[in-house]
Chain A
Amino acid sequence: MVQIVVSSARAGGLAEWVLMELQGEIEARYSTGLAGNLLGDLHYTTEGTPVLIVGHHILYGKIIHLEKPFAVLVKHTPGDQYCDELGRETGTRYLVTALIKDKILFKTRPKPIITNVPKKV
């Protein structure tokens, strides 16, 4: 029987993460890849609508409370884990590091941001 143990990482409360869901793809401009780069800015309007600015696009989304929250699991393989008290070889364990209860969904078509409007058409 396969058992996969999922346990909480620490005794205290878990972090709460927010999930951002974009309907699309994110591409890197340069060939360095996405890692470490800034995606964009997330702002909230006064009504609470989240606004995401990515490049020259602006997306409007909404916050959705998840009825089935997600948990963020980190996999720990037995190779570098300590053995439990029974001395048995522990299997792969998943540690929960965060919970996700809300998500921000951007599903509308993004609007372009035009910063240089020529004065004369």
Chain B
Amino acid sequence: MCCEHVGGAQPSVQRSPHPLTRAPVDADLQPAGSLPHAPRIKRPRLQVVKRLNFRSEEMEELPLPDSPRIDVTPPPSPEDLAELWDHEASDAAADVGLTRASAAARNPVLRRPPILEDFVHVTSTEGVRAYLVLRADPVATGVQSPLLHVPWRGGGQLDLLGVSFASLKEQVHGERRERLLQEAQRLSDTLRSLGSGEEEAAQPVGAPEEEPADGQDASTHCLWVDEFAPRHYTELLSDDFTNRCLLKWLKLWDLVVFGHERPSRKPRPSVEPARVSREAHDDRSPEAFRTRIEAATQMESVLGAGGKPNCLVIDEIDGAPVVGSLMPGILNRKGPQEAEPQGPAVPSGGGRRRRAEGALLMRPIICICNDQFAPSLRQLKQQAFLLHFPPTLPSRLVQRLQEVSLRQGMRTDPGVLAALCEKTDNDIRACINTLQFLYSRGQREVSVRDVQATRVGLKDQRRGLFSVWQEVFQLPRAQRRRVGQDPALPADTLLLGDGDAGSLTSASQRFYRVLHAAASAGEHEKVVQGLFDNFLRLRLRDSSLGAVCAALDWLAFDDLLAGAAHHSQSFQLLRYPPFLPVAFHVLFASGHTPRIIFPSSQQEAQNRMSQMRNLIQTLVSGIAPAMRSRATPQALLLDALCLLLDILAPKLRPVSTQLYSTREKQQLASLVGTMLAYSLTYRQERTPDGQYIYRLEPNVEELCRFPELPARKPLTYQAKQLIAREIEPERDFFGRVVVRSTAAPSAGDTALEQDSVERLMGTAVGRSEVWFRFNEGVSNAVRRRLYIRDLL
């Protein structure tokens, strides 16, 4: 049904102000005097949806068979409406019904309510009431406007919900019914699987009672991991000793926190679980971190229920490097600080606590990290009490998993759970997630096969470098047939048979194992460097060094691959480098491995190379231009430098230079000249043990010193001193050679001998024939006698 709306008039539905409320169009709207007609059927509510179209510009052309005496499209303005009604009034002489009908067909806006059709009434702003005819919409979309694309939702519908409220309610009821039915069904399945098979037909009656109890619906309930997070001391997974250590440490805080020692209770049944605010913050910036701590600590008694003091737990503190270094600073501030008690520790490698020094910190802070050797935690370590959490015992884990599966209604046996623990490497979360996943897939009984075959529940791990190296160089001790359990094995091998797969040998297992380890290590470069540094320290089996050659070939290959991959950007080549550790494993793995050292040779070599480069660069930049053209760094280094150093070390008598013969003086002068040309000099330096030595600067002797060859016999200290003294006056502050001219001072003096003016100028300045002697004082009181006869 639809109706058109006359623009400008206010629509109002009879008897209710809200446009969405259902207002039945019923019989009492008929004005008196009209023909009584049969009572109409109460239409279903859904249909009286007011699809009010306010778009006055899109008007509908009624398909009229006859005489469009007046324009059928309703006028857009009230004035026109009045005009229309005048037209309408002129029709009044005609047959009422017919005219009305046809008029209604022509013009759905009426002045009097129609008899036969449905209508709604509309009141204009002036108070004039019009009646709009409702028509059945054949298309039933409710959209008649030619412009279907209306920016409103529902294509022209004004209603906010799109459907009526009753229909919404019905929908909700329907959904709830359906959900109840589903849960009932699932419950009956569970009960059936547990062996109690008395109820064949799961009654929906029974379902709602049990529904809220257990939270069987995995989709709406939380994860099992959260649900089975330990709340009691007995539910902790770490070993007893560690737990007691932690408790004891916390107890130590009694004095500070409570001001007195609390009476010790026999084994504490629960770690205080109050107010573990589960907000996970990911504030990496120092400011945010500081405000977070302050916020947690300042809100002391407001937050605590029952007035229990808080204990701050910071997890993954090694992840935020800024934070880790800020902690000591923050914690050494004055003022009370608080923390929240930690939930029971789920071990993940390492844990540590922090206990402040001094009386500044009033509440314990517990920091959890995975890698206690992270550099950002170095400062913190000095002030903290470290507690290392050993990895979980499988037996304990199995026990816990049994409890979980019992609670959830899954059938497992310890062997299966043990296999699961082994597969996930004793990770509690992975185990519980795997169980939940299997459960949600409908499995209520877990067998070894399921555990082996499922590939979910595995954490994405990054193996540490040392573990990778260990894997490569050490033969695995227990050569168990773990065919289906190894995630490293490719998928097709898992499909081979069941039980013992005879085709997969232990060598292949090792192959894939090492491959997987190498591929999952993050930094291939570092792995290779570690292998390179360590592979010669192993005990080699063959004496022919063939294995070493093969290993070196592999290293060269790896280098080529990396170079090619990055040079031509064909990164598909990077599929091959992980095979290098496998090759090393095959070549070098033995039962006994020496301690593996962290690789440093690359770094050292790089440093040395850059140092030498700098030396050469300094030398080359100081060479005088005349020699520079023949002294490229390459040529200098390869050809000239060693010999140059030999030239610079002649035999010089350790006496004063005045006593030298001319030949010796010449020798010395040429030596000095050479050194000046290459801008070398000897500089006195103090060694760490207090001795003074003369060192060549720049010290290019380093470049020519080879560790295996015998060192060159150096010049004596006196000789170097002598040479240094000779060189020194020739160099200015910057080390440049001073161009020294002879004693003639002025520039014009040297050249232009033929010009007499210049010559005279030079004479005047430096070599004048007269001298001037200045007389101090005044001489106006000097008198002399003068006789007239002298004038005559």
Contact size range, B: 20 to 34
On whether the beta carbons of B770 and A37 are closer than 8 Å, the reply is yes
CB distance from B737 to the nearest CB of A (A): 11
Residues of B745-781 whose CB lies within 8 A of A: 745-746, 760-761, 763-766, 768-776, 779
* Residue of B738, B770, B791 with most partner-chain A CB within 10 A: B770
Contact B765 A53 (CB under 8 A): yes
B729 close to chain A: CB less than 8 A: yes
- Per-residue interface assignment for chain A, residues 93 to 121, with 1 indicating a CB less than 8 Å from any chain B CB and 0 otherwise: 00000000000000001100111100110
Residues in B whose Cβ lies below 8 Å from that of A120:
729, 732
Segment of A10-18, A23-31, A63-71, A80-88 in the binding face: A23-31
Residues of A near B779 (CB, < 8 A) are 23
B763 touches A22 (CB 8 A): no
Contacts of B761 in A (CB 8 A): 41
Q: Quick one: closest B residue to A110, CB to CB?
A: B774
Q: Are A38 and B765 in contact (CB under 8 A)?
A: no
B201 within 8 A of A: no
Q: Which residues 27-65 of A have a CB within 8 angstroms of B?
A: 27-30, 32, 34, 37-41, 53-57, 59
Residues of chain B within 8 A of A1, CB atoms compared: none
Cα of A75 to Cα of B792 in the assembled complex, Å: 9
Contact with A along B730-751 (1 / 0, CB 8 A): 0010000010000101100000
Q: A40-B764, A41-B764, A91-B792 are in contact. Are A55 and B732 (CB under 8 A)?
A: no
Contact A2 B769 (CB under 8 A): no
- Asked whether any CB of chain A lies closer than 8 Å to the CB of B302, the reply is no
Q: Which chain A residue has the least Cβ–Cβ distance from B760?
A: A38
Are B771 and A29 interface neighbours, CB within 8 A?
yes
- A119 is contacted by which of B738, B766, B769 (Cβ under 8 Å)? B738
Residues of B within 8 A of A54 (CB): 764, 768, 770-772
Is B788 close to A, CB under 8 A? yes
The distance from the CB of A73 to the nearest CB of chain B, in whole angstroms, is: 9
Chain B residues lying within 8 Å of A8, measured Cβ to Cβ, are none
> Which residues of chain B come closer than 8 Å to A26, judged between CB atoms?
770-773
**Smallest Cβ-Cβ distance to B774: which chain A residue:** A24
Interface bin, chain A:
35 or more
Chain A residues with CB below 8 A from B764, complex form: 38, 40-41, 53-55
Q: Is the CB of B746 within 8 A of A115?
A: yes
- From B731, which residue of chain A is reached at the shortest CB distance? A120
Contact yes or no, A27 B771, CB < 8 A: yes
Chain B residues, CB < 8 A from A22: 772
Chain B nearest CB: distance from A111 CB in Å? 10
Among B732, B745, B746, B788, the most chain A Cβ lie within 10 Å of the Cβ of B745
| Residues from chain A with Cβ under 8 Å of B768 in the complex | 29, 38, 40, 54-56
B residues within 8 A CB of A28? Answer: 769-771
Do most interface residues of chain A lie in helix, strand or loop, or is the interface mixed?
Answer: loop
Please, how many angstroms separate the alpha-carbon atoms of A116 and B745 in the complex?
5
Residue in A2, A4, A24, A41 whose beta carbon sits within 8 Å of that of B772 in the complex:
A24
- Inter-subunit contact B770/A2 (CB<8 Å): no
The CA-CA distance from A30 to B792 in the complex, in Å, is 35
Question: Per a CB cutoff under 8 Å, which of B732, B743, B765, B775 touches A24?
Answer: B775
Residues of A within 8 A of B791 (CB): 4, 75, 92
For B770, the chain A residues whose CB sits under 8 A away are 26-29, 34, 37-40, 54-55
- Chain B hits for A24, CB < 8 A: 772-775
Chain B nearest CB, measured from A32 CB (Å): 8
User: A116 contacts B743, CB within 8 Å?
Assistant: yes
Indicate whether A56 sits within 8 Å of B760 (C-beta atoms), given known contacts A25-B772, A115-B746, A119-B738.
no
Q: Measured between alpha carbons, how far is A98 from B37 in the docked complex, in Å?
A: 153
Task: Give the residue of B760, B763, B766, B773 whose beta carbon is less than 8 angstroms from that of A115.
Answer: B766
Cross-chain contact of B775 among A25, A40, A41 (Cβ < 8 A):
A25
Q: Which of A4, A38, A56, A113 contacts B792 (CB 8 A)?
A: A4
Q: Which residue of A lies closest to B792 (CB)?
A: A92
Instruction: Give the docked Cα–Cα distance between A114 and B746 (Å).
Output: 10
In the complex, chain B residues whose CB is within 8 Å of the CB of A53: 764-765
Given A2-B792, A119-B732, A119-B738: A56 in contact with B775 (beta carbons within 8 A):
no
Cross-chain contact A29 with B769 (CB below 8 angstroms): yes
Give the distance in Å from the alpha carbon of A115 to the alpha carbon of B741 in the complex: 12
Shortest beta-carbon distance from A81 to chain B in Å: 14
Task: Specify which of A25, A34, A115 is in contact with B765 (CB 8 Å cutoff).
Answer: A115
A109 to chain B: closest residue by CB: B774
In the assembled complex, how far is the CB of residue A27 from the closest CB belonging to chain B, in whole angstroms? 5
Question: What's the minimum C-beta distance from A116 to chain B, rounded to whole angstroms?
Answer: 5
Given A25-B772, A29-B769, A57-B774, 11 more pairs with CB closer than 8 A: A2-B788, A4-B792, A24-B775, A26-B772, A32-B769, A37-B770, A38-B769, A40-B772, A54-B768, A91-B792, A115-B745
13 contacting pairs across A/B (C-beta < 8 A):
A23-B779, A24-B772, A26-B770, A38-B769, A40-B772, A41-B761, A55-B765, A56-B765, A91-B792, A109-B776, A115-B746, A115-B765, A119-B738
Chain B residues with a Cβ under 8 A of chain A:
729, 732, 738, 743, 745-746, 760-761, 763-766, 768-776, 779, 788, 791-792
Residues of A within 8 A of B (CB): 2, 4, 22-30, 32, 34, 37-41, 53-57, 59, 75, 91-92, 109-110, 113-116, 119-120
Nearest 7 interchain pairs by C-beta:
A115-B745, A54-B772, A55-B768, A24-B774, A37-B769, A25-B773, A116-B745
